Amino acid sequence: MIERGKINDNQFRVLVILFIFGPAVLLETSLLAAAAKQDAWISAVVGVGIGLLIVWLYTKIGSKFPERNLFEKLEYVFGKWIGKIVSLLFFFFFFQLAAHILRNIGDFVTVHIMPETPIHFVEIIFLCIVIMGVRLGLEPIARTGEILFPWVIFFFFIMIVSLPPEFKIENIKPVFEGGIKPILKGSTTVIAFPFMESILFLMIYPYVNKIKEANKAFFTGALIGGGVLILISVYTILVLGADFTARNVYPSYALAKKINIADFFQRIEAIVAGMWFISIFYKLTICFYASTVGLAQILNLKEYRSLTLPLGMIMVVLSIIISPSMAEFMSYLPKYEFPFNLTFGLFFPLLFLVVAKIRKKTGKEPMNQTKGDGL
């Protein structure tokens, strides 16, 4: 195994929550409101429900050959050459996802915090910290996640308890105005972003101490993260309204600006920014970690750390090319993200289970082979 560290089920759960919490906490509600308007919160509920079914599917895959990560499973079931080709496709999926997240960070900082700073400088500084974390390994990443996670909960709690005075019930009326179609359209965003992306946690499965606890932690982490998305969607629509939410790229950041208690406790949007920076750091770190470990296995390297710097340099360039502007990125998500994520988040996992089932029924189930062999 390239990775020698081990994490417990609670650390794994924290990583899942932070991953789902990540960029979705700022971007998701805008896409939901654009599709379903005031019924965006219903889309969130439907999307989270279906997303949890997808996570349950991933736990079934994680339970098969639990001593192997996703890339090893693919090569083990599909055979050496087909498995490597599919693994390479997954590497590109993980890597472009990391590049998109890095671009999200650069866009947010240059728009709201340091508008005169070139975006590539922001990305390089942030990525240096990510590379440092990935080089230290999975165990330090998970342990620091446990340390920082209470701060995310604390910041989120402050925002949640401070906003009810700003609620406007009329903002969610009328319910089901556009029928079921807009709601289902909005839910696809939640299903693809972030639930289908969570397939990369199968790269971490072998390093969790107990596989049964890993399954439970994966599902409960996704449930908690999904609950947060639903809650933020409800709050955003109730406070800002569907129209303003759909037109604002970062509605959750604008939501924090509405907090005003006795004209004293107000303008605490830095809390949302801090909460977002912690969670998106972990999402980017997990994506980059999965990419580097996966590529090292495809190339049959003994360790992955030598790949972190060159892949980091490529990622900065790719993040600029892949999304020339925030407007293009927001238009890209609803059009192309769902079909793209559907391929890697549902089609290939189902194909994996089907092939593994056929192998078992035909007596060619690869359990009898030594680790790393093809079929």
First to last CA, the chain: 20
CATH classification of the domain holding 362: 1.20.1740.10
Rounded average pLDDT over 97-121: 88
Rounded average pLDDT over 45-50: 94
Domain, as residue range, for 20: 9-368
Identity of the residue numbered 313: M
Q: How confident is the model at residue 93, as a pLDDT?
A: 94
Q: How confident is the model at residue 84, as a pLDDT?
A: 93
Rounded distance, CA 205 to CA 139, Å?
13
Is the residue at 138 inside a domain? yes
If we measure between CA atoms, which residue out of 67, 71, 69 comes closest to residue 210? Answer: 67
- CA-angle at 207, arms to 206 and 213, nearest 5°: 80
pTM: 0.91
Is the residue at 4 inside a domain? no
Q: How confident is the model at residue 375, as a pLDDT?
A: 38
Is the residue at 107 inside a domain? yes
- Confidence grade of residue 273 (pLDDT, cut at 50, 70, 90): confident
Q: How confident is the model at residue 256, as a pLDDT?
A: 78
Q: How confident is the model at residue 332, as a pLDDT?
A: 66
Convert the pLDDT of each residue in 301-348 to its tens digit: 989 999 999 999 999 999 888 877 666 666 666 666 778 889 999 999
Is the residue at 39 inside a domain? yes
251-268 burial code (b ≥16 CB/10 A, e <16): bbbbbbebbeeeeeeeeb
pLDDT at 186 over 90: no
Gyration radius (Cα) of the chain, Å? 21
> Do you find a cis peptide bond into 174, omega within 30 degrees of 0?
yes
Convert the pLDDT of each residue in 236-269 to its tens digit: 999 999 898 888 888 888 887 777 766 666 767 7
Rounded distance, CA 123 to CA 105, Å?
7
Rounded average pLDDT over 204-212: 88
The count of domains in the chain is 1
Per DSSP, which regions of 243-291 are E strands? 260-261, 265-266
Rounded average pLDDT over 289-300: 94
Strand partners for 208 = 7
10 Å CB burial of residue 167 (0-12, 13-18, 19+) is middle
pLDDT at 298 over 80: yes
Convert the pLDDT of each residue in 343-369 to its tens digit: 999 999 999 999 988 887 776 655 434
pLDDT at 18 over 50: yes
pLDDT at 59 over 60: yes
Is the residue at 373 inside a domain? no
Percent of the chain at pLDDT above 90? 51
| Whole-number average pLDDT of the chain | 87
Is the residue at 354 inside a domain? yes
Is the residue at 2 inside a domain? no
3-state secondary structure (DSSP) of residue 267: coil
221-244 burial code (b ≥16 CB/10 A, e <16): bbbebbebbbebbbbbbbbbbbeb
Identity of the residue numbered 32: L
Is the residue at 375 inside a domain? no
